Structure 1
Amino acid sequence: MTRTLDIVSARLSDVELAINFSDAHPPLTVEQARVEADRCFFCYDAPCIEACPTGIDIPKFIKAIATRNLKGSAKTILESNILGGSCARVCPTEILCEQKCVHNTREEGQPIRIGALQRHATDWQMEHGGQPFTRAPTTGRRIAIIGAGPAGLACAHRLAMQGHNVLLLDAHSQPGGLNEYGVAAYKLADDFAQREIDFLLAIGGITFEGNRKLGENLSLSDLRRDYDAIFLGMGLSGVRAMGIEGEELEGVQDAVAFIETLRSQEKKCVPVGRRVVVIGGGNTAVDAAVQARRLGADEVTLVYRRGHEQMSATPVEREWAQTNGVTIRFWSSPVRMVLEDGALGGVEFSRGTATTNGRVIYDPADTFIVHADMVLKAVGQTFIPDPISGESILVENGRIVVDDTYRTTMEGIYAGGDCTVGEDLTVAAVRDGRNAAEAIHKALSISSVQA
């Protein structure tokens, strides 16, 4: 008789779940924001600006906070990054702008809390000022955007602001992409992702259609016929397989799907194991592990095949996992899923040793088992090119190839975000969408003059 897996929902009460999935990092108070802003040196040629993928004028927006001008602060942020509110919450600022802050070289070694200050200003704008930009007179031009994640949303807003009409299409029923479906719930609490989208769409000129998937009920050739330009911002919809024995067992699932379920349902309805193993070393792995713990799992173990220096999750994320009761084990590669009484019982790992040339050697004779009734795979996401196969769009090394103006190899089609080569960060996707919109606007303006 096959053993029943201990994967159930509602391990915790509604009150406990509400606390566990509330805002992980509460906002600064007005006084805290002013004190923090006053610490800034307002550097000329500030290194923090160079470290921001969207190039926000950080000293300028912080100085505006220090002088009690939150409207001006927010506009400085949003004119560079219309998704500045979510980026303030999810950006790894510790390896971007805050890492470059000159305060790091001073005795106290504490950078300005740039992310928290950015949130302070953008939250004020959303609550008190509304959409700070006005739409230009309509141009009559129509642009289709496939993918309503950060890249697509940023592209849509900038094009709409320039007077173009935009159709935003996505495979999901709601816009938001990664922010809505792929980020830990406690990072974008209180339905912030959708509130920010409502704020963005208030510019006007943007129509959203959900449940539209390229290659199924959406045709690239039809869009090319009916629209003046197309932007592809589909992100990474594929998930890498580990290719090990037992990967198809009940209780083994993709961490991406687990997080999407968490973001799409009431927390009390999401099943979780009593003993959970998460395989991977990125932010998705950390988000899955911490959320499993906060759903009520007794034990959560995150296992990574290399050392902490090689993890794509930042030290801050790693520390966050550990302070939330997640055990992290390094230098361990999965060998197989373990069966116990006909059901998933755990994962067998092979221990690895780092060599002097940076490689890792795993000893097949030196293995150990981490017991689990639930395994979450977070070993990377991939771009699925099938919907554009057969088109004249070049794909190399698993990503769409674009030039420095975000043009693909197919005329009139642009791309950006995670489906192209880049940093795979929300803020980088916003930059790509914004810059592609500027390139599209320029190309359409030139064609109008020539006509």
Structure 2
Amino acid sequence: MHTTPEDLIGNFKEANAGLTSQKAMDESNRCLYCYDAPCIKACPTSIDIPSFIKKIASGNMKGSAIKIMTSNPVGASCARVCPTEELCEGACVLNEETTPIMIGDLQRYATDWAIKNEQVLFKAGKSNGKTVAIVGGGPGGLSAARELALLGYKVTIFEAEERAGGLNSYGIVSFRLPQDVALWEVEQIESLGVEIRTNTTIGKDIPTSELLDRYDKVVLAIGMSSVPDLGMEGEDLDGVLDAIEFVKSTKTPPITDEMIGKKVVVIGAGNTAIDGATCSVRLGAENVKILYRRTADEMTAYDFEYEFAKQDGIEFNWLTQPTKVISDENGKVKAIECIKMELGNPDKDGRRRPVAVEDSIFTLEVDYVIKAIGQSRYTNLIEGFGLQHDDGVVTINEETYQTSNTKVFACGDVIFGKGQGEAMVVSAAEQGKKVAYALHRELFGFAEGTAS
């Protein structure tokens, strides 16, 4: 049967249907509502998990959603994309006796109720007369904007894309995080009077100096850029794709049918590589392989992502290093040359360094090559603000989140790396909150606590 682009759209519907009302009630009543609950400590945003679950059990759905979103301004997205088995659910006391509470699914249940019932959960604080510009409308920027609006600031977000949301809107596959969920979180922040200027690139459309001159403070939350070059012959051929742009294309219809029946390789083994591979399957690719120069033990993708990919029939070629992309007579990808690797002595990061195995070169026939070896950074923009950085990782005061320019604060991917922690959506959200509090303390002597 012929597959059409319309058929492919159905492949991108959310894979997890979520809890039924009865299952949510049964699961919420299973919670022990622990005092000094370890699940709260395991959550980077410190959501009061027993409290929001108890509100579900009592039928107070709006109260539950408010409890979640107060702590995590992107809590609806995080309910879907957080590695809960490593965080809150991993810390659940019921792990010792039975199975942990389905915290992520319950968090989704409450926030889905708020989305379906078009709830507006917060009101802006009384104006304090101060203005803040936020560069980047991803999880970190949105989180900072929400807290600052509650504290009475006039906040303007400058976003280069057509819509705000960053990674949540464009960079995570639709069958795990539908774009509508991320955009609802954006709407919650706009409801507080936050202005979001999309299709606006700072440093190009507006000079950095203008923000520094016009606003009392600036928050840099610019995230990451495109996938860097592989540094191999043939990577500029037709059919070599950037994983970030590829995933983005599946979240902004129309979805094309050009991969039906094709062979695809993805280079890398992080979460974005998994997303690129699973998207390829849903676009009709007949064979999808992930090539990684180390082993499964060293891969950076979450365990649940890895399991998801295996369920989709994706092949993992460990200890495999691509060396050259080969073209046909029309300049289109037709194959990729690889060499087998073995692990040698540890790198400076502690992982064993891959070393090429002599006389082990082989070739795979492919139609598409997807690059997913990390992301580059917006170094030019960082330097446009005159900020100190280490290869694009902005240097901050770890207590205040201030950069080398005390008028500029930073959070999210732009400060992740170089020992600054793991780049999770939930971590960026927490940093956005902390930036808001630190900024407010500097201007008004605000004590520790929350804005709400």
Indicate the residue corresponding to 1:302 in structure 2: 290
1:132 aligns to what SS in structure 2? coil
The count of residues paired between Structure 1 and Structure 2 equals 435
| TM value normalised by structure 2 | 0.91
2:52 aligns to what SS in structure 1? helix
Indicate the residue corresponding to 1:17 in structure 2: 8
| CA deviation vs aligned residue, 1:151-208 (integer Å, no higher than 9, x gap) | 11111111111111111101112111111111101122262222332233212x2111
CA contact (8 A) 1:169 1:212 kept: yes
CA distance in 2, matches of 1:176, 1:228: 24
1:264 aligns with 2:252: yes
CA distance in 1, matches of 2:63, 2:385: 45
CA contact (8 A) 1:93 1:99 kept: yes
AA matched with 2:429:
V
1:35 aligns with 2:26: yes
Mapping 1:38-57, distance limit 5 Å: 38-57=29-48
Mapping 1:183-202, distance limit 5 Å: 183-189=172-178, 191-202=180-191
| CA deviation vs aligned residue, 1:196-234 (integer Å, no higher than 9, x gap) | 32233212x211111211221122211111101000000
Give the direction of change, closer, same or farther, for the CA distance of 1:18–1:254 in structure 2 (3 Å limit).
Answer: closer
CA contact (8 A) 2:8 2:257 kept: no
CA distance in 2, matches of 1:104, 1:335: 45
Indicate the residue corresponding to 1:429 in structure 2: 428
Extract unaligned runs of 5+ from structure 2. Answer: 347-351, 447-452
1:323 aligns with 2:311: yes
Q: CA deviation at 1:353?
A: 1.8
Q: CA deviation at 1:66?
A: 2.1
Extract unaligned runs of 5+ from structure 1. Answer: 1-9
Across the aligned residues of Structure 1 and Structure 2, the Cα RMSD in angstroms comes to 2.0
CA distance in 2, matches of 1:290, 1:129: 31
| CA deviation vs aligned residue, 1:279-305 (integer Å, no higher than 9, x gap) | 110110111110111011111111111
Structure 1 range deviating more: 33-42 or 285-294: 33-42
AA matched with 1:219:
P
1:160 aligns with 2:154: no
Indicate the residue corresponding to 2:80 in structure 1: 89
2:175 aligns to what SS in structure 1? coil
CA contact (8 A) 2:190 2:196 kept: no
Give the direction of change, closer, same or farther, for the CA distance of 1:211–1:270 in structure 2 (3 Å limit).
Answer: farther
CA contact (8 A) 2:4 2:257 kept: no
Structure 1 range deviating more: 405-414 or 185-194: 185-194
Structure showing greater relative contact order (alpha-carbon pairs closer than 8 Å, 6 or more residues apart): 1
Indicate the residue corresponding to 2:407 in structure 1: 412
CA distance in 2, matches of 1:91, 1:270: 32
1:439 aligns with 2:441: no
Indicate the residue corresponding to 2:359 in structure 1: 365
| TM value normalised by structure 1 | 0.91
Mapping 1:38-437, distance limit 5 Å: 38-106=29-97, 108=98, 110-128=99-117, 130-189=119-178, 191-203=180-192, 205-268=193-256, 274-341=262-329, 343-355=332-344, 358-389=352-383, 391-403=385-397, 404-421=399-416, 422-437=421-436
Q: CA deviation at 1:333?
A: 1.1
| CA deviation vs aligned residue, 1:74-95 (integer Å, no higher than 9, x gap) | 1211110011001111112122
CA distance in 2, matches of 1:399, 1:420: 5
